[in-house]
Amino acid sequence: MASPPLRVYFPQALPLLLLLLLFLPFFSSISHVAAQNQESATSGSSEEANSTASFSSEYPPFILAAERTRRVDPLNDYKYYTGGWNITDEHYLATLFFNAAPFALISIAWFVGFGLALVFTCCFSCFCGRRQQHRSNSYSPSWHALSLIILILLACVAIFGCIMLFAGHGKYQNSAMSLLNYAKDQSDFVLENLQDFADKMEGAKNVEVDQVFLPADLQAEVDEISTKLSTSLQLLSSQASKSFSFLAGILNIIKTYLVITTVFMLVLTFLGLLCSLLGMQFLVYFLVIVGWIAVSIMFVLSGSFLIVHTAVGDTCVALDEWAARPQETTSLSDIIPCVDTATANESLSRSKEVTFQLVKVVNGVIANVSNVNYPPVVVPPPLNYNQSGPRMPRLCNPYRSDLSDRVCLSGEVTFDNAAEEWKRFICDTKVVSRNEICSSVGRVTPSIYGEMTNAVGMSQGLYLYVPFLVKIADCTLVREAFDTISENFCPSLEHYSRLIYIGLNIETTATMLSLVFWMALVAQRIERKNCKKSTTQEGPQIAGYKLQEN
């Protein structure tokens, strides 16, 4: 059975590329599981595995983003990872997550430590509060003023962090959507061209020139190619549409989540400052509990965006290096397998063969029918339709019989000028016994001319698609797309993911410190209030003695 006519990777590569650039932390575990499943599914083919291993040992893979991905690997005794960018490698994924591990540790330490501090404060207030009332007042004007100044500064820092976060995620959203639209346009371009190529192959099967058709075996091959290609394109189009819709939905979810997070933290900061200034002890403690949980979540979120930022940078460097060496054996070869020369030639040879045979059919009619002066009585129509006059030029065949490129000879017409040149050889016709007969000087009837130009159009269409098919087969289209993405989209994605990461850190740190000073300020406000109340109740004193009323 003949192998598939064309292995189409470009439309599949683009949605995957977006997943790598934008959502690697969320899907890396899925990719790893899929890789394990694929490995287990192919474990039965021991001979193929041995040959692959032999090939890999003979040609070691090129390591992508080797310097950038040199990070501590917790799965290898905390040694430095040297395998480069590879989302199917658990060691690479471990370095990504381990790089953000400090944020997880800080989140846990904060949640446990501040939680214990809240419990201790609550117990101290409940069991030791009355005893404290009999002691001297602990109100300090300088500490009160310092707490207020620090809280105002922290509020300004939180506002700055929110602005950075809001601006960063807005720009990141725009860059990501621009990348998504670019990828969708490129995918649609490839799918539309492949569909047009499939239609031309199907149309070429039915080409007829003066009742002469393509060979039956070639028609069967064309039919097989068209069926397989159309089926694959329908599946790819459906998958691409679902992938882009899914990615757009994920981007909108992330946008909504970050907007809500930014607004929530900003409102929390101002409410905490306001309630602490007004001495609303209950509301302050409630906001402290809410902030305690929110800060823990924000630290985890900061770590997640550090993973995103690191992954985006790694992927961009890997794509840039792979685009310069598309035929090298790399970790991307398993995801976007550029076919070898033999497979590419096999995929393209049939389109060349159809072009060659179509031109051969046209030239056969020109040589054996149109340019022959048959005796009017001996040879009846349709071979003899009273053709006469100067002989028609033959059509230049761009290929030899072995499908290698061929240079046009002098006197041959090309795909571009054949219709115009042959128009001079059309004769006037009349119908005799249901046959079209020339009634003037000419070599072809209008109907035969139309069939010839139709064959030329089909041949030219298939011929012009050969460079496009070669670009798909050798991954030139993918390489060009990766170059564009690396140059036009990667810098902005990396920059704005860094802004989000820094903005989250600033906002989280400011909120974390604000929680402490909210409690300190509200405590000082309460102490000041108690101090004023105590002074009023005791009355005026002289030398430490209360004046007695008469």
Q: Are residues 384 and 287 in the same domain?
A: no
Lowest mean pLDDT among 135-139, 213-217, 257-261: 135-139
In a domain, 546, yes or no: no
For 433, counting Cβ atoms within 10 Å of its Cβ (0-12 exposed, 13-18 middle, 19+ buried), the class is exposed
Q: Are residues 420 and 488 in the same domain?
A: no
pLDDT (mean) for 340-357: 72
If phi > 0 it is left, if psi is from -120 to 50 it is alpha, else beta; for residue 433 that is: left
Output the six-digit token pair for 200: 């031309």
CB 88 within 8 A of CB 32: yes
pLDDT in tens, 169-184: 888 888 888 888 888 8
Predicted local distance difference test score (pLDDT) of residue 535: 53
Lowest mean pLDDT among 17-31, 347-361, 483-497: 17-31
Element (H, E) at 11: helix 10-41
Q: Are residues 396 and 490 in the same domain?
A: no
Q: Are residues 377 and 294 in the same domain?
A: no
Query: pLDDT band at 140, cuts 50/70/90?
Result: low
In a domain, 50, yes or no: no
Rounded CA separation 345/198 (Å): 17
Predicted local distance difference test score (pLDDT) of residue 426: 94
pLDDT in tens, 428-473: 999 888 888 999 999 999 999 999 999 999 999 989 988 888 887 7
CB 415 within 8 A of CB 456: yes
Name the more confident of 106 and 219: 106
Query: pLDDT band at 400, cuts 50/70/90?
Result: very high
Element (H, E) at 266: helix 216-278
In a domain, 406, yes or no: yes
Predicted local distance difference test score (pLDDT) of residue 370: 92
In a domain, 149, yes or no: no
In a domain, 140, yes or no: no
What one-letter code names the amino acid at 175?
S
Rounded CA separation 393/443 (Å): 11
Which residues lie across from 546 on neighbouring strands? Answer: 541
CB 255 within 8 A of CB 168: no
Q: Are residues 239 and 254 in the same domain?
A: yes
pLDDT in tens, 489-545: 888 888 888 888 888 889 899 999 988 888 877 777 766 666 665 555 555 554 444
Query: pLDDT band at 345, cuts 50/70/90?
Result: low
Q: Are residues 69 and 88 in the same domain?
A: yes
Backbone angles phi, psi at 372, to 5 degrees: -105, 135
Q: Are residues 390 and 292 in the same domain?
A: no
Domain boundary residue, one of 474, 503, 523? 474
Q: Are residues 115 and 252 in the same domain?
A: yes
Output the six-digit token pair for 533: 């109340």
Predicted local distance difference test score (pLDDT) of residue 399: 94
Neighbouring residues of 222: CB distance < 8 A, sequence distance ≥ 6:
201, 202, 204, 205, 214, 350, 354
Is the confidence at residue 8, as pLDDT, over 80?
A: no
Q: Are residues 239 and 378 in the same domain?
A: no
In a domain, 132, yes or no: no
What one-letter code names the amino acid at 465?
Y
Predicted local distance difference test score (pLDDT) of residue 423: 94
At which residue do the structure tokens 């290929």 appear? 399
pLDDT (mean) for 123-128: 69
Mean per-residue pLDDT of the chain:
78
Query: At what angle are helices 446-473 and 476-488 packed, to 10 degrees?
Result: 60
Is the confidence at residue 220, as pLDDT, over 50?
A: yes
Name the more confident of 56 and 339: 339
pLDDT (mean) for 7-35: 41
pLDDT (mean) for 469-491: 82
Query: pLDDT band at 390, cuts 50/70/90?
Result: very high
pLDDT in tens, 229-249: 777 777 777 777 787 888 788
DSSP annotation string for 477-542: HHHHHHHHHHHHTHHHHHHHHHHHHHHHHHHHHHHHHHHHHHHHHHHHHHHHHHHHHHHHHH--EE
Q: Are residues 265 and 413 in the same domain?
A: no
pLDDT (mean) for 106-135: 75
Name the more confident of 238 and 296: 296
Domain residue limits at 166: 10-41+63-124+160-207+216-338+479-533
Total residues found in the chain within this entry: 550
Predicted local distance difference test score (pLDDT) of residue 355: 92
* Domain count along the chain: 2
Is the confidence at residue 16, as pLDDT, over 60?
A: no
Q: Are residues 275 and 317 in the same domain?
A: yes
In a domain, 1, yes or no: no
Q: Are residues 290 and 309 in the same domain?
A: yes
Is the confidence at residue 38, as pLDDT, over 90?
A: no
In a domain, 57, yes or no: no
Predicted local distance difference test score (pLDDT) of residue 364: 92
